[in-house]
Structure 1
Amino acid sequence: MAKIIEYETRSGKRYKFLYYAGVDEKTGKKKYIRKNGFTTKKAAQIALARLEYQKALGKIDASTKKKVRFCEVAREWFSTYKLTVRESTLGTKESRYRKQIAPYFGDCYVDKITLQDCQKAVNEWFQAIPATMPGCIELVNSIMELARKEGYITDNPMKDVTRPRRTRTRDDNNFYTKQELNTFLGRVKQQENKKIYACFRLLAYSGIRKGELLALTWGDVDFKGKTLNIDKALTNRINGSVYVGRPKTTASIRKIALDDLTLKALLEWKYQQARDLLKRGYNANTPQQIIFDDNNGNIVKYKGSVNRWLRKIYQKNPDLRCIRVHGFRHTHCTLLLESGASIASVQERLGHSDVNTTLEVYTHVTKKVRQAALNDFINYMEG
């Protein structure tokens, strides 16, 4: 048994001991447990006897596990994650961690985080912003898994949480029908300049993403072959600025066919842009020229520029039903499927890496077709 030592402090006599706990199997070094501050020798003896009892039961582990905080493991996880994704994706994850996850777990030791702690966080994420809850769970789970692999914890409590059930509210109205699209484009062609008309005509008749649209150069348009090459996209940086980088996924790199009227709208804008920039002393007749520029030949400063163009159109036309910019991609997908295009061809044209994304729209379209068929039958029977 360890020896109890008496020592003096300003408050009087105190007692301490140094207990030998065994040899650390990992390091081969002896481990000692130091206790002090006992006001009586009897209190020190009781504490020492308790340690002896725990050691006899095998409850004292001589191994020295490093205690780390959740934020330390998170830094280690992000240092690897940033090498695998685009800067915009990294920025989204870092923002989610900083705003929603760090307040709950950042300063906690990972081995002290319980299932109850995780469930409380999940419930509060769900109540605050339900749509972000799955992403928060996924991120915490990834960080905790790294902690488990590193040996800081034995179990990952985030894996056992109960996810509050979300009422999925798919926005079934974020697209135009054939008639609505024709009305919209007719107004834009009549009221707006050639650039704005070419922009929304291309979005609606190609289904490309907003970031892909804003990264296009004239070298991407083959007027003779009637095709459009998609191999880059305008992407947000962590600091809010933009840059032209690789597309969202490998499937996003594609070449799609364009119709004659869309090509005509692009060609008319190409000539107009060249004249406008020439007046400013710029030569726009190069393959590298950005198509939908900032009016000075450069890429726009932020991706929301197209949103601003669309808002102005709706302000002039309050009778038009409003959809978001992404709704033109959904419109193209919907009308393609309604026209009889195969799921595989639509997936390829839109650059969906997961066919389930295309199938979600397909399910929506088939429901509409089934309902239309029923309506025709009822009208026939009751007519």
Structure 2
Amino acid sequence: MIKNSLTCLSGALNYAVQPCKYIKYNPCDYVKIPKIPVDKNAQTKTDYILSLDEWETILARFAGTHFYLPLMSGFYAGLRLGESYGIDLLEDVDFENSTLSVNHQMQMQNKNWVLCNPKFDSFRTIKIGPELLNALKKEVTSRKKNMLKYGPYYLKTYLADDGTITQARADIIVPYKEIWPAAVKESGELTTTDTFKYCVRVIHDSLNNPLFHHHCLRHTHGTILAENGAWPRTVMERLGHKDIKTTLERYVFNTEKLQSDAVDIFEKAVR
């Protein structure tokens, strides 16, 4: 953030020098950003990767809840939190071809929940495996049953032309496009990225896992792919990064398995 702020200010002052000629030189030319000490605890949480045992414990705890699909889509598809909540079951899932399209992310804007473009406009369609596909199928089936159960009292979700999300009872006609968000309560009530904070608190306190955050699911997804030989370009496109540098520096961590594999590769090569 500090580097970006300096870049913006320096660019503005360069413009003031030439062509505007308001000032003679750019004072930012002499600015150096000091080295900021790394908080070891914060770095540990940022780089945290789930073990499979931890993942199974979390999954068992939230099976059958509205937190299940945001967890599954983070782990099995590497989606960001906002992208997980931005899934529209009606349009974004192709059950026949086993693909998931990332077309939106959910955000709070001007005190309203909206569906906007994914980060960096990283629209993408990715292949998904049977675990996530079956979870999505079960949610669609469950959603239809709940609509029949609640009848006119079921809360349907609609997307206005400006991207604003609104809800209304099933017996009320709304002149907007109907969507099926991936994470709603039994009655159809919308849940949001803010709602997910409760899930995180339970994992921290009840499951004794203080390092967990939704983004670690994305870290874990990318690292498992790297550990098992996925091509970096494929990982980059799957995660929706704007360049390969982000994938390699932030999401493909130098795990013990990767280090061991490097040794094995070298030993085989010299033999």
Report the TM-score, using the length of structure 1 for normalisation: 0.55
Q: Which residue of 2 aligns with 1:186?
A: 60
* Distance change in 2, residues 1:361/1:162 (3 Å): closer
Residue segments in structure 2 that go unaligned for 5+ positions in a row: 158-169, 171-176, 265-271
Aligned residue runs from structure 1 range 191-202, under 5 A: 193-202=64-73
Q: Is the 1:274–1:283 contact (alpha carbons within 8 Å) kept by the matching residues of 2?
A: no
* Distance change in 2, residues 1:277/1:315 (3 Å): farther
Equivalent AA in structure 2 for residue 274 of structure 1: K
Counterpart check, 1:314 vs 2:204:
yes
Counterpart check, 1:354 vs 2:235:
no
**RMSD (Å) for aligned C-alpha atoms:** 3.0
Counterpart check, 1:144 vs 2:16:
no
Which of these two proteins has the greater Rg computed from alpha carbons? Answer: 1
Q: Is the 2:154–2:187 contact (alpha carbons within 8 Å) kept by the matching residues of 1?
A: no
Please state whether the residue corresponding to 2:115 is helix, strand or coil. strand
For residue 49 of structure 2, the aligned residue among 175, 197, 222 is: 175
Bigger RCO (CA 8 Å, 6+ sep): 2
Alpha-carbon shift at residue 337 of structure 1 (Å):
0.8
Distance 1:326 1:345 in 2: 19
Q: Which residue of 2 aligns with 1:115?
A: none
Counterpart check, 1:254 vs 2:127:
no
Report sequence identity in percent: 26
Q: Which residue of 2 aligns with 1:291?
A: 182
Using the TM superposition, name which of 169-178 and 214-223 deviates more: 169-178
Alpha-carbon shift at residue 370 of structure 1 (Å):
1.7
Q: Is the 1:221–1:228 contact (alpha carbons within 8 Å) kept by the matching residues of 2?
A: yes
Q: Is the 2:236–2:247 contact (alpha carbons within 8 Å) kept by the matching residues of 1?
A: yes
Q: Which residue of 2 aligns with 1:232?
A: 104
* Distance change in 2, residues 1:201/1:146 (3 Å): same
Alpha-carbon shift at residue 240 of structure 1 (Å):
4.6
* Distance change in 2, residues 1:326/1:147 (3 Å): same
Equivalent AA in structure 2 for residue 174 of structure 1: Y
Please state whether the residue corresponding to 1:249 is helix, strand or coil. helix
* Distance change in 2, residues 1:277/1:313 (3 Å): farther
Q: Is the 2:203–2:212 contact (alpha carbons within 8 Å) kept by the matching residues of 1?
A: no
Residues 286-345 of structure 1: CA deviation (Å, up to 9, x unaligned): 972222236664654x53222332223433322x35311111111111111112111011
Distance 2:185 2:118 in 1: 21
Q: Is the 1:207–1:350 contact (alpha carbons within 8 Å) kept by the matching residues of 2?
A: yes
Give the count of matched residue pairs.
237
Q: Is the 2:99–2:128 contact (alpha carbons within 8 Å) kept by the matching residues of 1?
A: yes
Q: Which residue of 1 aligns with 2:86?
A: 215
Equivalent AA in structure 2 for residue 357 of structure 1: T
Q: Which residue of 2 aligns with 1:244?
A: 115
Report the TM-score, using the length of structure 2 for normalisation: 0.75
Equivalent AA in structure 2 for residue 241 of structure 1: N
* Distance change in 2, residues 1:262/1:242 (3 Å): same
Please state whether the residue corresponding to 1:290 is helix, strand or coil. coil
Residue segments in structure 1 that go unaligned for 5+ positions in a row: 1-131, 376-383
Counterpart check, 1:165 vs 2:35:
yes
Distance 2:13 2:188 in 1: 47
Residues 201-252 of structure 1: CA deviation (Å, up to 9, x unaligned): 1210000111111111112111121110112222342x353311112124x1
Distance 1:176 1:297 in 2: 31
Residues 143-195 of structure 1: CA deviation (Å, up to 9, x unaligned): 32343343322321113202101235544642212333233223333xxx342
Distance 1:322 1:138 in 2: 33
Aligned residue runs from structure 1 range 9-48, under 5 A: none
Q: Is the 1:307–1:325 contact (alpha carbons within 8 Å) kept by the matching residues of 2?
A: no
Distance 2:30 2:154 in 1: 64
Q: Which residue of 2 aligns with 1:369?
A: 258
Distance 2:195 2:156 in 1: 23
